Structure 1
Amino acid sequence: MNTAARLAPLGLAALLALTACGSGEQATSDSGVPLVSEGQLTVCVNPPFEPFAYTDDSGEVVGLDMDIVNEVAKDLGVELVTKVSAFETMQSGTDLDTGSCDLVTSGMTITPEREAKLDFSEPYFDADQGLLVAADSGITGVDGLAGKTVAVQQATTGETWAEENGLTVVQFEELGLQIKALETGQVDAVVNDIAVLGPYASGDLEVAATFPTGEQYGIGVKTGSTALLDAVNATLDRIREDGTYDALYTARIGTAPSTASSEG
């Protein structure tokens, strides 16, 4: 077979691929909401961030955020698919803009800076910052952090809060690495959302302080994805009204939500 004959099928395949890509068709849910993949709602997450998104013993990513987006998938009549991603590419909108996923969630605080890069759902959780230290550290608040090193999660509101308070910070890509750094003595304290520090506050570690910040979590979608955003908000409204949200919150957080939290 000569070279031209060998290349002909390849050229035809490439032409067919380009024709398919250029058709302008996009996958949708049963309700007509545009999605990245047919029959699937793809969510990008950044575990470990217990109790919102973390890996259980079977290797499945679970948590309150996963429970909520699973309800969204059920309402859309599609399968939920999870992708683990870096928090930076989630909060910057990169994962959404490149079509890696339909939603981003992992205890993501709604901020003006992030709202310039992606669209957020209604708030579904009220959050504050917390301080995790060694149980024998003697640190009880910000004043005790002078001259100390504080582990923060990159691109989070916890990092911003620590820097605004003049703390000496060390960046880590995810919560698990922050905790490991504290346990091994690489840092003197950890700052992150108070709700995710609780599971680590036992034995040698303790939560030394809570810093009220008025933060609220939201689920992110690509800017301009109105139909999907409306669907997410519709699910949030439904689960608040039918009691599903209260049940999920209590199971994952350990206490019932306050009235303000359950009403968004």
Structure 2
Amino acid sequence: MFRTARGNRKRPGSHRIRVTAAAAAAGAFLVAGCSSGGDGPSEAAGGVPVVEKGKLTTCTHLPYPPFQFEKDGKVVGFDVALVDLVASRLQVEQKILDTPFENFKTGAFLNSGECDLAAAGMTITDERKRNVDFSVPYFDATQALLATKKSGVTSLADLKAKSKKLGAQAETTGESYAKAQGFDPVAFESSDAVINGLRTGQVDAVVIDYPVVQGWLKDPKNAAEFTLGQNIETGEQYGFSVKKGNTALVAAIDKAITDAKADGTYKKLYEQWIGPLPQTTP
């Protein structure tokens, strides 16, 4: 899925601290050398450095269902569940900071020591690799075209032929793809803004991650208004990013992902948050 490496999903004000559902349910479970309380950098199990004792601090940008979003006052989603696996392996709890997405491209919050990793449905690109280190890919990404039923649009070719307006999330690979196809898409700063723009007639169709579209269409009201058009295969993959040189944390994340795929946990979480696991997924 041509998951847009989202960017510029800004909101005014400072970033907010969120708690994952798993952390809220389980509470802190720490090992020697990672006692609860206290501030400042420390180490988790295996000598993995963390920016706060007893925590694995994750930068994300909300909402972006099904990868990360709020439900019943908790932050949940596919990305959140996978990072909880990493936190469990490190014997700490995950803490989430809701931050502006443009910082994910530069690694700003990682470099400043505010977060240990970024988890935001982010596409691995060579440009980003210059600023951050990535885990192994954890998701094969595809984009989809979602259009209003009244537009009669089912493909980008239709959109051009009928001179309809296209939208995308700002600073994302979806927006970049649309521009590469000759469009000048209306840029929205969040996924909520994207679907609102479609709903209010600011645009006739949008290009955005297929799992996001799947989630939207589960709502009967959306299913009545919108139609799923073409899938756009771009060969993109998502990864979690860490500060450059943090090899210990990358290794821990990679191990958690690899083990989850081997023991069936990944499949279970994928089906819980996204849907049937494609047969081609390793």
Report what 1:49 is aligned to: 64
CA drift of 1:160 comes to: 0.8
**CA RMSD across the alignment:** 1.3
CA drift of 1:60 comes to: 1.2
- Asked if 1:155 corresponds to 2:155, the answer is no
Report what 2:120 is aligned to: 106
Equivalent position SS for 1:136:
helix
Report what 1:251 is aligned to: 272
Equivalent position SS for 1:130:
strand
- Asked if 1:77 corresponds to 2:91, the answer is yes
CA drift of 1:31 comes to: 2.0
Q: Which has the larger radius of gyration?
A: 1
Report what 2:244 is aligned to: 223
Structure 1: any 5+ residue segments left out of the alignment? Answer: 1-24
Select the structure with the greater relative contact order (CA < 8 A; seq sep ≥ 6).
2
Equivalent position SS for 2:49:
coil
Report what 1:34 is aligned to: 49
Number of residue-to-residue matches in the alignment = 236
What are the Cα deviations for residues 38-80 of structure 1, in whole angstroms up to 9, with x where unaligned?
1100111122211111111x12111110000000000000011
Report what 1:9 is aligned to: none
Give the counterpart letter for 2:41 in structure 1. Answer: Q
1:236 to 239, 254, 257: 257
**Contact 1:53 / 1:63 at 8 angstroms: preserved in 2?**
yes
**Contact 1:249 / 1:257 at 8 angstroms: preserved in 2?**
no
Give the Cα–Cα distance (whole angstroms) in 2 for the partners of residues 105 and 71 of structure 1.
Answer: 13
Equivalent position SS for 2:127:
helix
Give the Cα–Cα distance (whole angstroms) in 1 for the partners of residues 204 and 150 of structure 2.
Answer: 11
What are the Cα deviations for residues 164-186 of structure 1, in whole angstroms up to 9, with x where unaligned?
00112111211111111110111
Equivalent position SS for 2:47:
coil
CA drift of 1:148 comes to: 2.6
Identical positions, percent = 41
Give the counterpart letter for 1:96 in structure 2. Answer: L
Report what 2:193 is aligned to: 177
What are the Cα deviations for residues 119-140 of structure 1, in whole angstroms up to 9, with x where unaligned?
1111111111111111221111
Give the Cα–Cα distance (whole angstroms) in 2 for the partners of residues 67 and 236 of structure 1.
Answer: 11
Give the counterpart letter for 2:155 in structure 1. Answer: G
Give the Cα–Cα distance (whole angstroms) in 1 for the partners of residues 124 and 78 of structure 2.
Answer: 17
1:205 to 226, 231, 245: 226
Give the counterpart letter for 1:160 in structure 2. Answer: S
What are the Cα deviations for residues 199-239 of structure 1, in whole angstroms up to 9, with x where unaligned?
22312012111111111111111111111101100111111
Give the counterpart letter for 1:232 in structure 2. Answer: I
When the two structures are superposed, what TM-score results if normalisation uses the length of structure 2? 0.80
